[in-house]
Structure 1
Amino acid sequence: MTERDVVRFEVEDGIGIITVDNPPVNALGAGVSDGIVAAVDRGVADPAVRAMVLIGAGRSFIAGADIRRFGTKRETPARRSYDALEGSTKPVVAAIHGYALGGGLENALCCSWRIAVPAAKVGLPEVLIGIIPGGGGTQRLPRLIGPQPALEMITTGRHVPAPEAKALGIVDELVEGDLRGAAIAFAKGIADKPLRRIGGMPPAAAEAGIFEAARKAIARKARNQKAPYNAIAAVEAATRLPFAEGIAEEKRLFGELENSDEARALRYAFFAEREVAKLPHLPKDIPTPEIRSVAVVGAGTMGGGIAMSCADAGLPVKLLDASAETLARGLARIRDNYAVSVKRGSLDQAAMDRRLSLIEPVEGYEAIAECDAVIEAVFEQLDVKQGVFRELDRVMKPGALLFSNTSAIDIDKIAGATQRPEAVAGTHFFAPANVMKLFEVVEGTKTAPATMAAAMKLGRAIGKISAYAGNCDGFVANRSRIPFTMEQNLMVEEGALPEQIDRVMVEFGYPMGPFAVNDLSGLDVSYQTRRRRLAEDPNYRMLPIPDRLVEMGRKGQKAGAGWYRYDPGDRTPHPDPEVRRIIKEVAAEKGIAQREFSDEEVLQRLLLGSLNEACKMIEEGKALRASDIDVMWLSGFGFPRYRGGLMFWADGIGAQAVYNQVAAWHQRYGARWAPAPLLRQVAEQGGQFRELKAPQLR
């Protein structure tokens, strides 16, 4: 695109209209900043222009910078759009709809006035990609609204709704209806008023101690990350330095981050989450069935969470369970969960009531027959699920989509219980279903392309990240996680303690260690999965220590004991001497010698086995892209986002070094560490794991 294409200038009734038109979201890509500068200069030079309006075409104002340009060699022009807007001798009104994020909000802050439609959102989310605002946002926002709210916005990166932005003072006026017309009228009204320039304001006044308090507040969440701390330093500069010096300090702090490992990983994660939505092997422009109503079969913890996810997105849900008692308990749990959100202030009572009204408890399969889609969320046993799908096949209307929230069971076996296997797919939610973002869509042998497309679309509609998985035991996410789980348990057999392994992973960046997560999820869930796999494969390697814990009644937090001990009403895990005794007892029974482990060995034993398995799945075509696996680990397993994901992280070690370590453990531990052929190939060719793709995409 040329500059004329992406920025237009026209004059209407004495008001210059600067329109940014750079689809799809008006990112500040090549030519946009220069186009704004040229348009402002035209308006300033035109005696017929009294004031100007900066507005976005299409669905947004300016949704931020073009992220693809970060980390690349690019020249900084002598005058940027920020300089031209704030330096204009005629007032400029920013007219905001959709999103004004990052550089979009920074441009708006350089305008004399800001108006917005109520549905608009503003923010400075740069910290989420490992950098800080680089267009003066850290200096202008604190001067405009004060350092405390500016700190909160910049360190969290959250999107602020326009009404809140109006209350904070970011937006001067909210307007309904025709934004362009309202902006022209507003510009006429302020054309003769004195110019307002945030850059001309003195340093923001700050209360004593707020910056140290901010550093303490983010310490746990920002572990191993630099961007949030640089953001605080930049805002602090806005309280003690003249504007020009503050801008120079912002530029210096930005420069420290742009090419950091943290920023590269976060940019990679950003693009990976957009790539994961694409299924190139499906026909283009395929007609996708509309899902306007959903039924959920099973009112347990998962079913209730799924119902909440749908209701949160405005979808009416019919909730069915074979047990009236379970149904009542499930509804009570849903109500309690919403009530907690209201108490915390993250949801108001009216929204809670509205969402609850969308969840309708029903009795009998006939009550859900007219729903567009049904999600089965019953106990993880094949015969139980097949029984449900026989009933669904009997009652559901023609064209209804039949989805299973299975975490590992063969979708083809479930679909085989129906006369419409083309309408069946897996829709694997992760616990807690109303919180976790990952939505794994599993394609069976006979799943129709339209069914897959509809399932992927449903996930996105309810705020999830939809990711493709081929049909195999554990699908992609859980199958890739099996070596991790196996190694964490085998290391315990060999002498590592659960608290050491958990500490290593928390220091790596996980919010919780794997054994604490096991206790939270319930040890009996994986216990049942292991027993199922043993029934299918007599040579399946069982895990005697967690098995013994479950058989002793130590099922995790819900039982007050699992890998750790829990005090009544407290979820804090306490190391338990009884667990150490069981570990030593089982190791002695099995003749397993125990030893000490370095933290590095713990980390690599957990992650490299999963990387090796990921290579197998990509070669089999069960996973489409290495980046898809990274998204699954980020969104489903709490892998630290600033490390990019499993495959991206391994590239930091290097393919040859990874292969050498896996091969060494193959010699030491046997077949489970046999290097995948694709792993060997990447090492031999000096390639990168993050670039791997399934055969059908090559």
Structure 2
Amino acid sequence: MAVRYLIEDQVCLITLDNPPVNVIGQALRAGLVAALEAAEAAGVQRIILTGAGAAFAAGADAREFDTPPVPPHLPDVLARLERLPAIAAINGTALGGGLEIALACRYRIAAPKALLGLPEVTLGVVPGAGGTQRLPRIIGMAKAADLIAEGRTFLAPEALDLGVIDAIAADPVQAARRLPDAVLACHLAAADRPTPAPEPLTTARARAAKRTAGQVAPQVALDLVEAATLPLPEGLARERAAFLALRDSDQARALRHVFFAERAAMGRKPAAPATEITQAVVVGGGTMGAGIAYALDGIGIAVTLVETGAEAAIRARANLQNLFDEAVRRGKLTPEAATARAAGIAVVTGYDALPPAQIAIEAAFEDMAVKRAIFAALDAALPETTVLATNTSYLDVNRIAEGIRHPDRLLGLHFFSPAHVMKLLEVIRASATSDTTFATALRLAQRLKKLPVEAGVCDGFIGNRILTRYRQTTDILLMDGALPWEVDAALEGFGMAMGPYAVQDLSGLDIAYANRQRKNLKAQPGVRYIPIADRMVEELKRLGRKTGAGWYDHGGASPAPSAEVAALIAESSVAAGIRRRAIPAGEIVERAITAMIAEGFDILEEGIARRPADIDLVLIHGYAFPRWRGGPMHHADTLGLPQLLSRITGYAAQDPLSWRVPPLLSRLVAEGRRLADLNLSERA
């Protein structure tokens, strides 16, 4: 049963018991109604509500959001609960509907490590069972607005400071039993409290607009908090209507898609047992290598960082120290802990005295000869069971594996910078990679709290391959008539965190230039070569922010459009015999995002990605694609695959060098299927 109850000594103890986290599905709601009916019939003096296991209730069952609501509805259940002398004994996580249950009780006691919050806006909806109406009555309008619009979670001590709970106890149930009758009697239910004093929510609205640009739910949530000044029944009716309307919106569907995709990636069970890692070697102490070493050290793995010489070792140690200093500045580590941890990472030169590590991760310069030489040295210096991982962003992992003993132990681990912060980890499975090696990588990702996405071997894997196609398409837009700042503005309007040219200025134009030279696009048949980016580096020597000039001029307080760049682009169009035209923002977005989607179809066709949702995760977490659009492949389903097929067919007729219709897209349209169907067929 999803709910258990026990009545004795005029107390009804109700236990929510829907493993693993007591999600509030229809069975739990019905069970709660039955328990409340029994408590009322018995005339108990108090009701204590708690959860089984480590959770109180972790919120609604999001799977129900895609089906019509089934009674009993949680708002109706809580209206009944609110009339009774109930105490919430919050033993663990109380999120969303779980916290709304607690808010409908007269008194709330939480365990010291209980996690609370109303995170509904992160799924594109608003609290739908009284959260926006009861919380302002309990803690005030401004504090409630901040919590609800941000969807922020918080621990019991902060909840007590805010007034969300009334007490903290190691055993909340026993504390609820011992609560004096007089104390319970003087605590009013939210319905019986005065409406909150109106407060301006200007700051909360500005903060929400900045943090969640383009998203609807946070601003609707703030509208509802303002409506808490109305009589409670009217406010609850408004809240429920808003919840149901948002639940069926494109944004909510997209955010639910990402939520389930993340859960599937994090919970993936490998086909073989993993090797537990206690020691690791990291080769290269630059920004990426230092970040990887810092992250490994943070989960208790002994790290040896290898550099080529004394000067490089000094720089590596400085890079590590900067990370520990930053942790101290942010309050994540004490100075003493930072000093001890920094000293615990061994920095060595050469491969002569490496420990028998279970994994070695190479984070050196993006050059095939350099990487192969490193792995030859690691192969000779480490046990033949050591997992060997390359952090390459583009290079052929199969070629890197050539020549080492037992190539089945080599794979790619493509961290994203900064490696100790970014959640995404592309796990590149080479043709020889064994199940045990892959399982060990997944286990390491879980320990690092990374989001692992499996990818096959190709140039750029999933993310950088799509990025290359995206940039190539925007470069074509420059040649045809757009300017970099117009492209950036259009794509930021779509929801990208930064436009492609602002990103290049930040990372450095020389990085993309080196990759283009490696691929020799100028000489490749069947490719529409656009010379603008190469000329920026070769002729104008504009490398981005680090040189004060890239696609933008960086001499002032903020980046500014560059007349020199505009002249170079116009000159390039003339040289190619192209008559430039004004390109509207909508067309810029349409072409650039469609290019991402088309490349994603090819990646799926070739088996580089296991499922469309994996592509979405990579682009959201690694390349700042707007989460609320669900990633490029989910966005393709939202657009409609028949319409997408028609669009790409038209592009291919206009520019056959740059566009072709992906065969997988044609097949799905012919079969009347969606990309979401492929996610279901791949679900573990």
TM-score range, shorter chain: over 0.9
Say if 1:626 and 1:690, in contact at 8 Å, map to a contact too: yes
Q: Which runs of 5+ in 1 are unaligned?
A: none
Q: TM-score, with normalisation over the residues of structure 2?
A: 0.92
Distance 1:203 1:483 in 2: 55
* Structure 1 counterpart of 2:531, from 529, 544, 547: 544
Aligned to 1:148: 142
Q: Structure 1 residues 186 and 221, CA, compared in 2 at 3 Å: closer, same or farther? A: closer
Distance 1:272 1:665 in 2: 31
Q: Structure 1 residues 324 and 135, CA, compared in 2 at 3 Å: closer, same or farther? A: farther
Q: Structure 1 residues 655 and 422, CA, compared in 2 at 3 Å: closer, same or farther? A: same
1:620-646 deviations in whole A, cap 9, x for unaligned?
A: 221111111111111111111111111
Distance 1:382 1:627 in 2: 31
Say if 1:621 and 1:696, in contact at 8 Å, map to a contact too: no
2:482 aligns to what SS in structure 1? coil
Say if 2:141 and 2:197, in contact at 8 Å, map to a contact too: yes
Q: Structure 1 residues 360 and 205, CA, compared in 2 at 3 Å: closer, same or farther? A: farther
Aligned to 2:254: 265
Deviation at 1:383, TM superposition (A): 0.9
Q: Structure 1 residues 507 and 185, CA, compared in 2 at 3 Å: closer, same or farther? A: closer
Distance 1:694 1:219 in 2: 34
Distance 2:680 2:16 in 1: 39
* Structure 2 counterpart of 1:187, from 170, 177, 181: 177
1:567-625 deviations in whole A, cap 9, x for unaligned?
A: 27x5x321111111221233334444432212222112212222222212212221111
One-letter identity of the residue aligned with 1:164: E
* Structure 1 counterpart of 2:379, from 371, 382, 393: 393
1:524 aligns to what SS in structure 2? helix
Distance 2:50 2:523 in 1: 64
* Structure 2 counterpart of 1:10, from 6, 15, 23: 6
Distance 1:9 1:265 in 2: 38
1:130-529 aligned at under 5 Å gives the runs: 130-176=124-170, 179=171, 182-191=172-181, 193-195=183-185, 196=187, 197-207=189-199, 209=200, 211-238=201-228, 240-277=229-266, 283=271, 286-337=272-323, 339-340=325-326, 343=329, 356=342, 359-366=345-352, 368-529=354-515
Q: Structure 1 residues 7 and 696, CA, compared in 2 at 3 Å: closer, same or farther? A: closer
Distance 1:555 1:586 in 2: 19
* Structure 2 counterpart of 1:39, from 24, 35, 38: 35
Which has the higher mean CA deviation after the structures are superposed, 540-549 or 504-513?
540-549
Matched residues, percent identical?
39
Deviation at 1:445, TM superposition (A): 0.7
Say if 2:89 and 2:176, in contact at 8 Å, map to a contact too: no
Distance 1:628 1:584 in 2: 39
Deviation at 1:185, TM superposition (A): 4.1
Distance 1:205 1:225 in 2: 27
One-letter identity of the residue aligned with 2:99: L
Distance 1:133 1:342 in 2: 36
Which has the higher mean CA deviation after the structures are superposed, 187-196 or 376-385?
187-196
Q: Does 1:621 align with 2:607?
A: yes
Distance 2:681 2:257 in 1: 22
Aligned to 1:553: 541
Distance 2:77 2:629 in 1: 33
Q: Does 1:72 align with 2:61?
A: no
Say if 1:659 and 1:679, in contact at 8 Å, map to a contact too: yes
1:291-332 deviations in whole A, cap 9, x for unaligned?
A: 234332211121222233334545443333224434433443
Deviation at 1:198, TM superposition (A): 2.3
One-letter identity of the residue aligned with 2:441: A
Distance 1:453 1:351 in 2: 32
Aligned to 2:21: 25
Aligned to 2:90: 95
Q: Does 1:86 align with 2:82?
A: yes
Q: Which runs of 5+ in 2 are unaligned?
A: none
Q: Structure 1 residues 237 and 317, CA, compared in 2 at 3 Å: closer, same or farther? A: farther
Distance 2:84 2:351 in 1: 67
Q: Structure 1 residues 466 and 77, CA, compared in 2 at 3 Å: closer, same or farther? A: same
* Structure 1 counterpart of 2:623, from 613, 626, 637: 637
Q: TM-score, with normalisation over the residues of structure 1?
A: 0.91
1:514-560 deviations in whole A, cap 9, x for unaligned?
A: 11011112111111111111299754665422222223432212222
Distance 1:204 1:660 in 2: 54
2:661 aligns to what SS in structure 1? coil
1:255-289 deviations in whole A, cap 9, x for unaligned?
A: 33121111111111211222334668x63xx2111
Q: Structure 1 residues 401 and 553, CA, compared in 2 at 3 Å: closer, same or farther? A: same
Distance 2:337 2:629 in 1: 36
One-letter identity of the residue aligned with 1:440: E
Say if 2:313 and 2:347, in contact at 8 Å, map to a contact too: yes
Say if 1:482 and 1:610, in contact at 8 Å, map to a contact too: no
Say if 1:313 and 1:463, in contact at 8 Å, map to a contact too: no
Distance 1:347 1:477 in 2: 33
Say if 1:227 and 1:257, in contact at 8 Å, map to a contact too: yes
Say if 1:393 and 1:420, in contact at 8 Å, map to a contact too: no
Q: Structure 1 residues 63 and 697, CA, compared in 2 at 3 Å: closer, same or farther? A: closer
Distance 2:238 2:426 in 1: 44
Say if 1:621 and 1:695, in contact at 8 Å, map to a contact too: no
